Structure 1
């Protein structure tokens, strides 16, 4: 995961990739994970007297994704017969001089170099800022986990207040967790 080892310095959220084949599902998640947070952040910026910028950024991001949509949503069949024929007719000296056999590429290393090059030469970020960017990425991860946990507990509490069956499930899950913890504690003291 190159975004974890080489994160962006000014990340607003943790980067991730989710590919969906259903356009309605994609539109829903785009609205929930991109547009809604951007609107909320722009509202916060307006309230604090700053210039809103996230919706503009999100619209530019969506335009860039729309350019790539044709290429990511269709199947492609590539024919390598000409390359194979050319390689079979090349002398060892030519193969050494014109090395275009991608089977020899170490793809993980290539992607790492690609991300580092993009970070340094396209985004003009200094590589000395990597430790701070990693700390920032961990902070974003913790914020996301905390927010999701609070949201799940809040929604669950609403269900518990309204349903006896939900309360019974909740008590069962909590008692199972306590039993597991007590078993884990007991088994760890036996060693």
Structure 2
């Protein structure tokens, strides 16, 4: 399951969808609280912020409505995705063993012969081209858009970490000491690097 998920994500990163809202990613968990946390952080919070941006720019908000519809659709599959299932292929194997070489070639249903990574890549490209009607010539522009989303995500993560760290530093003497030690170490490293590069010239 995780291997399949990895192939899907990596394919959509190499051949991204046009105007993607988020960077393709997936987190599998059996913990209900973790699922609710990731739903709030990865879906609801970005959708709410984007809708707020749309309202401020005089446009109609749509992302929360879209994600609510998506979650309702996903809820229909919850029974199947939240349980373990075992499937037997004994009947298929028995049928395959009784086929003649000609019929085996004509009715090729042995999935063991599939090259799964290639199959998944073709499947994802097929959904992009035929289901979503996206132009394959637009992949370079979609990659640039994905890089922009990645830079925005890095910037937001950095801002959040700095805010949390500053709050933590304000309350802890030990955290302040660690912060000053790291800053001092970076300063010494930069000074040494500058001095050594000057000597080299």
Q: Please report the TM-score for the alignment, with normalisation by the length of structure 1.
A: 0.88
1:48 maps to: 57
1:93 maps to: 102
Count how many residue pairs are aligned between Structure 1 and Structure 2.
184
SS at match of 1:158: helix
8 Å Cα contact 2:13/2:24 also seen in 1: no
Kindly tell me: are residues 89 and 178 of structure 1, through their superposed partners in 2, closer, same or farther at Cα, counting changes over 3 Å?
farther
1:111 maps to: 120
Q: Does 1:161 align with 2:178?
A: no
Q: CA deviation at 1:172?
A: 3.9
Structure 1: gaps of 5 or more residues: 187-191
Distance in 1 separating the partners of 2:89 and 2:185: 57
Q: CA deviation at 1:175?
A: 5.3
Q: Does 1:59 align with 2:62?
A: no
Q: 1:83 aligns with which of 88, 92, 107?
A: 92
1:189 maps to: none
Q: CA deviation at 1:43?
A: 1.7
Distance in 1 separating the partners of 2:185 and 2:87: 53
Q: Which segment is superposed worse, 156-165 or 51-60? A: 156-165
Distance in 2 separating the partners of 1:117 and 1:91: 33
Q: Does 1:133 align with 2:129?
A: no
Structure 2: gaps of 5 or more residues: 1-9, 197-201
2:156 maps to: 147
Q: CA deviation at 1:10?
A: 1.4
Kindly tell me: are residues 70 and 179 of structure 1, through their superposed partners in 2, closer, same or farther at Cα, counting changes over 3 Å?
farther
1:7 maps to: 16
Moved over 6 A (4+): 178-183
Q: CA deviation at 1:115?
A: 0.3
Distance in 1 separating the partners of 2:183 and 2:81: 44
